[in-house]
A and B are shown apart, each in its own frame.
Chain A
Amino acid sequence: MQFIAPRSDLNTVTQITQRAISLRSPLPILSCLYFETGDNILTVTATDLEFGIRCTLPVTTLLEGSAALPAKYVTSLLNKLPDIDINVCCDVSNNNTSFTYGDSELVLNGYPADEFPRFPDLPQTPALKIKQNVFKRMLKRVLFAVSNDERRPIFTGVHIRLNEKGVLSMVATDTRKLAVCEENLEIPRDRLINVIVPGKALNELYKLIDAVDDEFDLYLTENQIFFVIGNTCLMTRLIAGQYPDYQVVIPARYECEVKAPLNDLLEAAERASLLIDTKRNVFNISFQSQGLMIYFYTESGRIREELMADFSGNPIDVGFNVRLFIELLRSMDSENVIIKLSGRESPALFLPVDQEGYFSLLVPAVA
């Protein structure tokens, strides 16, 4: 394999692909970036078959072929090389790859390229084309609720569905908080979607897509999903299993309801969070006719915050985990939030005002 490409282009694609490198890979070959040159196209791939990123880049191909190089070295190397055209050449006899820049040369020891796992093939047609900004906004609203406890794998993913009416929905929960976001794509679909996508991969996707109107493609196979954004393809296996129906945990009746300025509430909660210690991380919010009162004490101190809010229903005093409360509010981008309480031990509903199609649940903490 031999090709010539500008340092900055090479740097960009390796920086993106190396995000799919897992830090604790059992096989050294999986900690490599795979370089392959075709007809004046370079493909850079990182994958452990569970999750992977592949980027393409136009280059001047001198010799078709491939190379597998430790991601750690090749990414930091490209970061440091001078900003000129680099001549990259792999010696298949010993898997060493030389990077020639000007009169200088650096050689990296690599691994046999043919041992690198094959990046799975994309299906013929995309299952969905969607605007990047729409998808990104939806992700922001649900990703905070994804669990990272591998012992219940289903909850480490986001349940993504597209129904026959063309409504795309995302649901995430770690069983203490739950977020639901729906977007009507307004074109009826005959290709339905019902998958659980690992949150880890979606976090990477979130960084890859921009808040722009441009569309990107989503491809599906039986057990994999591909997101294709321009010259970048992100692949992940799907999580197998049945995602529970979130409808059953939404309270049927509420005790009371308040409407409060989201930012004021968030800032008050953030001030309270300064006092969190190892013993206490649950604060109380008193929902009453005059508004909200937050109070919290720990060994470090105490805080009481009074907030004006529109109130209706029966007054109630509820405890919430401060950190979860803050995370949830941060995922919302409306000016005001409506909080509906169903009791001291049953979920509270958080509804952004003037923003259709998304809400969150948070379970109170009971001492």
Chain B
Amino acid sequence: MHIIHIDMDAFFASVEQRDNPELRGKPVAVGGKPEHRGVVAAASYEARKFGVRSAMPMATAIKLCPGLIVAPANHKKYREVSSSVMDIFHYYTPLVEPLSLDEAFLDVAGSERLFGSPVEIGAEIQRRIKNELQLSASVGIGPNKFIAKLASGYKKPGGFTVIPQEKVLDFLSPLPVEKMWGIGDKTAESLKRMGIKTIGQLRALPLKLLEEKFGKHGKLMCDFARGEDPRPVEPQREVKSMGKEVTFAGDVANLEELRQTLRELAEKVARRLRRENLKSGSVTLKIKYPDLRLITRTENLPEPTNLAGVIYRTASRLLDKHCKPPVRLIGITCGKLTGERYIALFRDEKLVNEEKITLALDKLRDRYGEDVVKVASLLKKRYK
């Protein structure tokens, strides 16, 4: 019992309420405006009482909860707060696996002599988050990741749930199968048709039957139902791809506007690649049409890159080839990430120049902020 899962309660919304006293005690949803087809990124507990959930269209949220206060998202601030939270975690163990800005697994085996038992460490972290950051977190402690995560979600907000090994099976048995990691709506549906509603019932099924029905996944389900999870806490999970996307306020049919959006996305993704010292070997264009049909089209690059220009030109080529506007959402994903250095006998002069320019611009951005310099096509037009 040495894995701790910590989940910040209504993270974005709580940060807004903390920094903005008028919002406290009121239903708040962080996210885009309904008239721009915004979605809820996070909802305060006051708003959740009305059924407001994350990823829900803001317009729906307002219907459910009249008087809902919509706060614009301030991701820069959330990242800063998140890094303070992660700093607290790292004080107790180097084995911290962040799942997102607001949750992480900690493996504290080996930290006992310095900081006490996992329960003591979990309690201290929760207290420090409250005192130092005026934020609330839910803590779950268990023998593995699966159990720890279930524990932190057991009581929210401000929960503190400990599930020692001997209580694991009793804890799991009454839970609905949907609570299990890796069981989505579809799997749950087909289990229900077999009359299986709880994890306890699932556990009673023979492995063979699960494997027949769900293939490889069946074995995993069988392990989880017994409370077994061999996955270690991995501090640096390998990044496989990096992407950015936007949903437009209104469907966009103008190719020029789509291209400009791609340019913007490419700049952001490329900057992130350079920050992480990675290069990308393929560019994927993602398009969602007004009827919610989603297409992705990928092109491999002749040499791995972290240059916005190359990523943009590739995405733009894919756009010309495959896109039939109007479009609801557009995105770029860079795949085949590698830290490998690509050596070439004859570098493309244009790329060498682009690299030099990018390097100089990055220095400016590091010093004066992201918006200090940008390509001319992304300037907001001042004159008509």
**Which parts of A160-183 form the interface with B (CB within 8 Å)?**
173, 175-176, 178
B343 touches A173 (CB 8 A): no
**Which parts of B306-347 form the interface with A (CB within 8 Å)?**
339-341, 343-347
B343 touches A363 (CB 8 A): yes
**Which parts of A126-149 form the interface with B (CB within 8 Å)?**
149
Complex interface: chain A residues within 8 A of B206 (CB): none
Select which of A149, A175, A364, A366 is within 8 A of B346 by beta carbon.
A175
Q: Does A10 contact B (CB under 8 A)?
A: no
Q: Does B302 contact A (CB under 8 A)?
A: yes
B348 touches A345 (CB 8 A): no
- The complex places the Cα of A155 from the Cα of B345 at a distance, in Å, of 12
Complex interface: chain B residues within 8 A of A367 (CB): 339-340
Q: Which chain B residue shows the least CB distance to A152?
A: B348
Select which of B339, B345, B348 is within 8 A of A347 by beta carbon.
B345
- The complex places the Cα of A23 from the Cα of B144 at a distance, in Å, of 57
A361 touches B345 (CB 8 A): yes
Taking each of A151, A155, A173, A178, which has the highest tally of chain B beta carbons within 10 Å of its own beta carbon?
A151
Q: Which chain A residue shows the least CB distance to B339?
A: A367
Q: Does A6 contact B (CB under 8 A)?
A: no
- The complex places the Cα of A152 from the Cα of B341 at a distance, in Å, of 20
Interface size counted on chain A using CB atoms at 8 A: 19
What's the least CB distance linking A33 to chain B, in Å?
A: 30
Given contacts A149-B302, A151-B302, contact A249 B341 (CB under 8 A): no
- The complex places the Cα of A149 from the Cα of B347 at a distance, in Å, of 14
Q: Does A188 contact B (CB under 8 A)?
A: no
Q: Does A244 contact B (CB under 8 A)?
A: yes
Q: Which chain A residue shows the least CB distance to B349?
A: A244
Q: Which chain B residue shows the least CB distance to A250?
A: B345
Given contacts A149-B302, A151-B302, contact A176 B340 (CB under 8 A): no
Q: Total number of A-B contacts with CB less than 8 angstroms?
A: 34
Complex interface: chain A residues within 8 A of B344 (CB): 175-176, 363
Complex interface: chain A residues within 8 A of B343 (CB): 176, 345-346, 363-366
A345 touches B341 (CB 8 A): yes
**Which parts of A235-271 form the interface with B (CB within 8 Å)?**
244, 249
Q: Which chain A residue shows the least CB distance to B344?
A: A175
- The complex places the Cα of A364 from the Cα of B342 at a distance, in Å, of 9
- The complex places the Cα of A176 from the Cα of B344 at a distance, in Å, of 5
- The complex places the Cα of A178 from the Cα of B344 at a distance, in Å, of 10
What's the least CB distance linking A261 to chain B, in Å?
A: 27
Q: Which chain A residue shows the least CB distance to B340?
A: A367
Complex interface: chain A residues within 8 A of B341 (CB): 345, 366
Indicate with 1 or 0, residue by residue over A196-218, a CB within 8 angstroms of chain B CB atoms.
00000000000000000000000
What's the least CB distance linking A347 to chain B, in Å?
A: 7
Q: Which chain A residue shows the least CB distance to B343?
A: A363
Q: Which chain B residue shows the least CB distance to A364?
A: B343
- The complex places the Cα of A366 from the Cα of B302 at a distance, in Å, of 16
Complex interface: chain A residues within 8 A of B347 (CB): 175
Indicate with 1 or 0, residue by residue over B189-223, a CB within 8 angstroms of chain A CB atoms.
00000000000000000000000000000000000
**Which parts of B337-378 form the interface with A (CB within 8 Å)?**
339-341, 343-348
What's the least CB distance linking A216 to chain B, in Å?
A: 31
Complex interface: chain B residues within 8 A of A249 (CB): 345-346
Complex interface: chain B residues within 8 A of A152 (CB): 302, 348
Q: Which chain B residue shows the least CB distance to A362?
A: B345
Given contacts A365-B340, A366-B340, contact A173 B345 (CB under 8 A): yes
Given contacts A149-B302, A151-B302, contact A175 B345 (CB under 8 A): yes
Complex interface: chain A residues within 8 A of B348 (CB): 152
Indicate with 1 or 0, residue by residue over B282-307, a CB within 8 angstroms of chain A CB atoms.
00000000000000000000100000
Complex interface: chain B residues within 8 A of A347 (CB): 345
Complex interface: chain A residues within 8 A of B340 (CB): 365-367
Indicate with 1 or 0, residue by residue over A340-367, a CB within 8 angstroms of chain B CB atoms.
0000011100000000000001011111
What's the least CB distance linking A344 to chain B, in Å?
A: 10
Q: Which chain B residue shows the least CB distance to A155?
A: B346
- The complex places the Cα of A363 from the Cα of B340 at a distance, in Å, of 13
What's the least CB distance linking A303 to chain B, in Å?
A: 21
Complex interface: chain A residues within 8 A of B302 (CB): 149, 151-152
Complex interface: chain A residues within 8 A of B339 (CB): 367
- The complex places the Cα of A248 from the Cα of B159 at a distance, in Å, of 67
- The complex places the Cα of A71 from the Cα of B211 at a distance, in Å, of 53
- The complex places the Cα of A155 from the Cα of B265 at a distance, in Å, of 31
What's the least CB distance linking B105 to chain A, in Å?
A: 25
Taking each of B343, B345, B346, which has the highest tally of chain A beta carbons within 10 Å of its own beta carbon?
B345
Q: Which chain B residue shows the least CB distance to A278?
A: B336
- The complex places the Cα of A366 from the Cα of B346 at a distance, in Å, of 17
- The complex places the Cα of A176 from the Cα of B342 at a distance, in Å, of 9
- The complex places the Cα of A151 from the Cα of B343 at a distance, in Å, of 18
- Please provide the 9 A-B residue pairs with the shortest distance between their CB atoms, ordered closest to farther: A175-B344, A249-B345, A149-B302, A366-B341, A363-B343, A175-B346, A175-B345, A244-B346, A367-B340
- Which residues of A are at the interface with B, using a C-beta cutoff of 8 A? 149, 151-152, 155, 173, 175-176, 178, 244, 249, 345-347, 361, 363-367
Given contacts A366-B341, A366-B343, 17 further A-B contacts (CB under 8 A): A149-B302, A151-B302, A173-B345, A173-B346, A175-B346, A175-B347, A176-B344, A244-B346, A345-B341, A345-B343, A346-B343, A347-B345, A361-B345, A363-B345, A365-B343, A366-B340, A367-B339
20 A-B residue pairs with Cβ-Cβ distance under 8 Å, sorted by A, are A152-B348, A173-B345, A173-B346, A175-B345, A175-B346, A176-B343, A176-B345, A178-B345, A244-B346, A249-B345, A249-B346, A345-B343, A347-B345, A361-B345, A364-B343, A365-B343, A366-B340, A366-B343, A367-B339, A367-B340
